[in-house]
Amino acid sequence: MKKYDLSDKYKAIVIGGSAGSFQGVVKILSNIPENFKLPIIMCLHRLKHVRNGFVEALSIKSVKPVHEPFDKESIKRGRVYLAPANYHLHIELGHTFALSTDRLENNSRPAIDITLETAAYVYKEKLIGILLSGANRDGAKGMKRIKDRGGMTIIQDPSTCMIDTMPTAAKNLTEIDYSLDVDEIINFLKQLDSQYK
């Protein structure tokens, strides 16, 4: 089993991926400890005009309910959040969410770069970014920002991705701390959680 350089300094986890990473996300959310302590903030590419269904589908399998935050809602420990359809999800100073309908970035709304970059700004070195399988380059700049601010970067091992454009783009742009398959990511999260009392 892999060993990771872990501590309890981290305050949040952001996960990016595209529609193709749905299975991986489901597996992660159904295998993390029930009282997982850090907030998990997910930005996944999804159909822009389907407001319902996605969060419910994730919640059924997840050990915790998955919640699409409202504008200006505060980020709470131990909760799992998903960027709502057709909105960009920003993290604000003071640890609240803010939504915007700003133009598409990387052809996407929600755009992973926006969530990752704004989270990096707020959480600095206390952030872990995980980028899963995906078909475009969204998220690469966000991962670079996380690394530049001292946070930890993890990608899904490109050789285990259905479509590896997304993690590969991140790897080419910035330093990646760990390249892991989905089971290893689960294991990583378990080890991380055990750092917290």
CA 45 to CA 91: how far, in whole Å?
Answer: 18
- Residues 103 to 142 in contact with another protein, rule: CB under 8 A: 103, 114, 118, 121
45 is catalytic: yes
Q: Taking CB under 8 A as the rule, does residue 95 contact another protein?
A: no
The three-state secondary structure class of 151 is coil
Task: Exactly one of 21, 45, 88, 164 is catalytic; name it.
Answer: 45
Q: Which is nearer to another protein, 61 or 126 (CB)?
A: 126
Task: Exactly one of 21, 90, 113, 138 is catalytic; name it.
Answer: 138
Q: 46: which residues sit within 8 A by CB, 6+ positions away?
A: 19, 54, 85, 110
Which residue, 146, 78, 152, 86, is CA-closest to 116?
146
Q: Pick from 56, 71, 125, 183: which binds another protein (CB under 8 A)?
A: 71
Q: Taking CB under 8 A as the rule, does residue 93 contact another protein?
A: yes
- Residues 30 to 69 in contact with another protein, rule: CB under 8 A: 49, 51, 68-69
Centroid of chain to Cα 95: 16
Other Cβ atoms closer than 10 A to 126: 16
Shortest Cβ distance from residue 28 to another protein (Å)? 24
194 is catalytic: no
CA 97 to CA 160: how far, in whole Å?
Answer: 32
Q: Which is nearer to another protein, 72 or 76 (CB)?
A: 72
Element (H, E) at 173: helix 165-173
Question: How many residues bind another protein, per CB under 8 A?
Answer: 25
49 is catalytic: no
With beta carbons less than 8 A apart as the criterion, state whether 39 and 77 touch.
yes
Residue numbers of the site for another protein (CB under 8 A)?
49, 51, 68-73, 84, 87-88, 90-93, 96, 98-103, 114, 118, 121
Active site members: 18, 45, 138
